Amino acid sequence: MSSTNRRDFLRSGGSALGAGVAAATGMGAATAEVATPLDAAVHAAAREAIRHVHRDFLAASAADSAAMTYRPRIAAQPDRIAVAYDGRSAQAVFHVEAETVTPLEGESTLVRMARLQGHVAERRIEAGQLEAEYVKRDDTWQIATLRFVAA
Amino acid sequence: MPKRTYRPLQMHRIPYTDLTEAQVLQALRPGVNGPWGLARTSSALAGKTIRIVTDEGGPQLEYRFRTDRELELIERGGKAVKVGYGALEDRELVLVSHLIPGTARGYSLVLDLASGLATVFELTFNGYAAAETAAAAEAKREPQFKNGRRNREVQRKVWFGYIDQGRSPPTARHGWTNRLEGKGIAWTQDNDVEILEFYLSVTYSNIIELTRFGGEMTVCAPSDYIRVNDHQFIYSRIECEFTGTFTLQVIDLFDMTQRGVRLGLTEKDELEYYLYTGKGVVTGQTATFEVFGNNSETRGPRRVYRPLETFEVMTDAEVKDHVLNHAHAFGDGKGSGAAGMGGYKSERVMQFAGRKLAVRMEGGGPSIDYEFVDGGKLKWRYAGDANWREAWYEMYEPDEELYFFAHLLDAEFPRSCAMVAFDMKNGLSTLVKGTTGTPFRNNETTPHYYFGTFRTDGSPTPPTYLRHGWTDEMVGECVTWNYQPGNPGLTSMHFYATPSTYSWIIFQPDGSGGMQWSSPGWYSKLRDGVYIMAWVEEACNGTLGVICFNQRLMHDAGFGYHVGRNGLSLSVIGARARHAGKYDIKRYLGIKV
């Protein structure tokens, strides 16, 4: 995915379905997976596949300079992935740091001067978590919904 | 005793001549004898040959100082040219300045005879248009000039290097710094020039010309700050957008002295080229906003703000059309006027809906009756007039029971607005009437202040003689204003420089001060620590800004009034403030003879 930006990632549908925001995996953070009574090996494989989806999504968000970018964040609570009994859907919570880029808008003197000295957008970094839902279609895990919740 | 010289036109209103190259060359001719000056020129270099090597492909200069007033220069092994020079010493530093005969070029340099380091200012006239065109092309923006030759402005390139002494070159260099940032110094020069300088940025500075312009206004100039050591600094500025004059000085903070050179063409197009010395007094030190450890050694390019060049002047007909047919107050009641400068506006005041108010201004000001229809619409009429008009308004409470609202006045050309403050604790009122147009440009604005009283249900009897009035209590203060969340976000710093002016500093992303500009300003007092401050961005974009500043809350409520290509707008200003410090400068300002 390194050559694919976030929009392409969402547009492709290969790994995401209509997600409004980007996602990041909990790489580097401990992951506590909710146990289910069905085949543990199948669920472990599903969780690993979902981690891949997030890693790809993280790369895509980082490649899109105009969008919100996410980085993994170590939090007091570990990231969570819960795969449904039937192995067709899953939920996850990933602790992330979100970086937003908002263009400076307006034509006031202040804005014009700021732009002239290279300050064309405001960058903000905010801690929070991504709350995601996944579905499995054609043996591929895809993001169904995704939202960023500020800490 | 130095005398204050008041001018009919401030710097930003003077129509400077757009000189040809030939005219510049002609004007520079006397300069080949070197700068004049009252101070004794240094003989430290007389009889010496000095080779200067600069980094990054800069000048390679071989100087043969024949006497203390004449030198020969060989540039990059070329032909020697003979020229007059001047030099001043500050401890181990020698400031040298000269032109190159038959050209519009010259050098001013600071040689450090102890460390062997050198900083070279390569100076040229005739370079602005070409340099700006190239810079704009690289940045993919429009050049900041329209027509003309732009030859009168000195251009400078700064080169760091060393004196080649035939052994291993030093690795150290003089370097960019923010160690002067925030400092203000009052200078008295040996030529009776008195000037206040404020180093509020790492790329700009403020000056108040006390003797040459009477000290009414502050102006801003792109500047360089270079650290030699912890007490000696090299400072330069170019009065871009004005005469284009270059100033370079060595500042010594141990004994508070300066050695400087001034090179440029006056507003009469005459050469001004002299050395000077001066004694200074620190007037204050304001806070700086870089993170600790950021000393600005790697500061970016020094960009130039050119509001006079980029101001789009509109015709009578254009302005008339906009003020009559494209006028919007507060997004026509929808509140869309909150964008940009109103990110931290306070809660709107709705409680006057259904009530009446009568303001009575004195000194020829308007008397207006109001009926507040609801929280966003009012009816108004001039006292005694039967004709009620409707207008959008917004009202705020910048201090307890002190209210401030604004609305547009009649649809006529020029068009005005009223910004009204009324104090329910004492019955006093101030009305700032903003009107489009100045004697210079139609799409600027002009404020008129009026002080008076008001009546409404429950209002107290106002005092007989006391009124709101002019104040200089804010003079010298520096206050940051954050208009939107973010760091630096939409944030500037106001410097309330004199009773009739202020300047603003735009922060760079690393928190250092960046570009600046200034404008006339007006200050009135409503209560202790509560003021109405107004400014007009003359020759900039023409906006009238009026804020009611509560120093206890460090917050304001205010309004902006602007006419431009997008129409006439009356919008809200609301920002959060931090106190950055204060300069002790009142003693230098005000009416002097």
Residue the block writes with tokens 């206050």: B479
Give the Cα separation of B195 and B207 in Å (integer).
Answer: 7
The distance in angstroms from the start CA to the end CA of chain B is: 10
pLDDT tens across the length of chain B (593 residues): 568 899 999 999 999 999 999 999 999 999 999 999 999 999 999 999 999 999 999 999 999 999 999 999 999 889 999 999 999 999 999 999 999 999 999 999 999 999 999 999 999 998 888 888 888 888 888 888 877 788 999 999 999 999 999 999 999 999 999 999 999 999 999 999 999 999 999 999 999 999 999 999 999 999 999 999 999 999 999 999 999 999 999 999 999 999 999 999 999 999 999 999 999 999 999 999 999 999 988 888 888 999 998 888 999 999 999 999 999 999 898 875 546 889 899 999 999 999 999 999 999 999 999 999 999 999 999 999 999 999 999 999 999 999 999 999 999 999 999 999 999 999 999 999 999 999 999 999 999 999 999 999 999 999 999 999 999 999 999 999 999 888 888 899 999 999 999 999 999 989 999 999 999 999 999 999 999 999 999 989 999 999 999 999 999 999 999 999 999 999 999 999 999 999 999 999 988 87
The answer to whether B538 contacts chain A (CB < 8 Å) is no
CA nearest neighbour of B148 among B308, B19, B12:
B19
The answer to whether B504 contacts chain A (CB < 8 Å) is yes
Give the Cα separation of A29 and B273 in Å (integer).
Answer: 66
The answer to whether B529 contacts chain A (CB < 8 Å) is no
Size of interface A-B (CB pairs under 8 A): 62
| pLDDT score recorded for residue A11 | 45
| pLDDT score recorded for residue B312 | 87
- B508 with A119: Cβ contact below 8 A: yes
What is the band of A38 on the pLDDT scale with cuts at 50, 70, 90? low
Q: Contact, B469 vs B524, CB < 8 A?
A: yes
Which pTM was predicted?
0.87
Q: Which residue of A has its CA nearest to B538?
A: A109
- A117 with B506: Cβ contact below 8 A: yes
- B540 with A109: Cβ contact below 8 A: yes
Q: Which residue of B has its CA nearest to A121?
A: B489
CA nearest neighbour of B389 among B421, B418, B360, B351:
B418
Q: Which of B486, B506, B514 sits opposite A122 (nearest CB)?
A: B486
Beta bridge partners of B296: none
Tell me the residues of chain B between 176 and 215 that have a Cβ less than 8 Å away from chain A. 203
Give the Cα separation of A146 and A23 in Å (integer).
Answer: 7
- Longest Cα–Cα distance of chain A, Å, equals 64
| DSSP state, residue B310 | H
Tokens at A119, concatenated = 């300050």
Q: Which of A104, A113, A124 sits opposite B515 (nearest CB)?
A: A113
| Segment (H or E) for B308 | helix B307-310
Find chain A residues with C-beta within 8 A of B303's C-beta.
Answer: 116-117
Which tens digit of pLDDT belongs to each residue from B382-429?
Answer: 999 999 999 999 999 999 999 999 999 999 999 999 999 999 999 999
- A111 with B340: Cβ contact below 8 A: yes
Give the Cα separation of B78 and B89 in Å (integer).
Answer: 29
Find chain A residues with C-beta within 8 A of B566's C-beta.
Answer: 107
Q: Contact, B197 vs B256, CB < 8 A?
A: no
Find chain B residues with C-beta within 8 A of A100's C-beta.
Answer: none
Beta bridge partners of B272: B264
- B340 with A113: Cβ contact below 8 A: no
User: Which amino acid is it at A83?
Assistant: V
CA nearest neighbour of B490 among B573, B392, B368, B390:
B573
CA nearest neighbour of B92 among B42, B23, B31, B52:
B42
Query: What are the residues whose beta carbons fall under 8 Å from the beta carbon of B399, sequence distance 6 or more?
Result: B526, B527, B530, B548, B550, B552, B553
Which site among B240, B344, B483, B484 would you substitute to test the A interface, given the most A Cβ atoms closer than 10 Å to its Cβ? B484
Nearest-CA distance B121 → chain A (Å) = 23
| DSSP state, residue B315 | P
Which residues does A contribute to its contact with B (CB < 8 Å)? 102, 104-114, 116-119, 122, 124
| pLDDT score recorded for residue A107 | 80
**Looking at per-residue confidence, does A80 or B593 come out higher?**
A80
- A117 with B514: Cβ contact below 8 A: yes
Which tens digit of pLDDT belongs to each residue from A92-130?
Answer: 999 999 888 888 888 888 988 988 888 888 878 888 999
Q: Which residue of A has its CA nearest to B542?
A: A109
Rounded to 5 degrees, what angle do the CA atoms B110, B113, B119 make? 25
Q: Which residue of A has its CA nearest to B144?
A: A116
| pLDDT score recorded for residue A32 | 52
Nearest-CA distance A22 → chain B (Å) = 22
Using the predicted structure, report yes or no on whether residue A25 has a pLDDT greater than 80: no
Residue the block writes with tokens 């540039």: B75
Find chain A residues with C-beta within 8 A of B515's C-beta.
Answer: 113, 116-117
CA nearest neighbour of B429 among B499, B365, B377:
B365
The answer to whether B490 contacts chain A (CB < 8 Å) is yes
Find chain B residues with C-beta within 8 A of A111's C-beta.
Answer: 340, 490
- Longest Cα–Cα distance of chain B, Å, equals 91
User: Which amino acid is it at B192?
Assistant: D
Give the Cα separation of A72 and A30 in Å (integer).
Answer: 11
Is the N-terminal amide bond of B414 cis, ω within 30° of 0? yes
Find chain B residues with C-beta within 8 A of A102's C-beta.
Answer: 486
The answer to whether B127 contacts chain A (CB < 8 Å) is no
DSSP secondary structure string, chain A?
-TT--HHHHHHH-SSBSS-SS-----TTS-EEEPP-SS-HHHHHHHHHHHHHHHHHHHHHHHH-TTS-EEEE---SSPEEEEE-TTSSEEEEEEEEEEEEEEE--S--HHHHHHHHTT--EEEEEEEEEEEEEEEEETTEEEEEEEEEEE-
Query: Given its phi and psi angles, is residue B115 left (phi above 0), alpha (psi -120 to 50 degrees) or beta?
Result: alpha
Residue the block writes with tokens 């002016």: B501
Q: Which residue of B has its CA nearest to A101?
A: B486
Q: Give just the sign of the alpha carbon dihedral B127, B130, B136, B138.
A: negative
| pLDDT score recorded for residue A20 | 38
Q: Which residue of A has its CA nearest to B307?
A: A109
Using the predicted structure, report yes or no on whether residue A12 has a pLDDT greater than 60: no
Give the Cα separation of B352 and B454 in Å (integer).
Answer: 14
What is the band of A58 on the pLDDT scale with cuts at 50, 70, 90? confident
* HSE-up of residue B311 (Cα within 13 Å, Cβ side): 21
Give the Cα separation of B66 and B416 in Å (integer).
Answer: 67
Q: How many CB atoms lie within 10 A of CB B584?
A: 14
Give the Cα separation of A74 and B365 in Å (integer).
Answer: 64
| pLDDT score recorded for residue A22 | 36
Find chain A residues with C-beta within 8 A of B560's C-beta.
Answer: 108
Q: Which of B300, B487, B543 sits opposite A109 (nearest CB)?
A: B543
Rounded to 5 degrees, what angle do the CA atoms B276, B282, B288 make? 115
Give the Cα separation of A124 and A104 in Å (integer).
Answer: 13
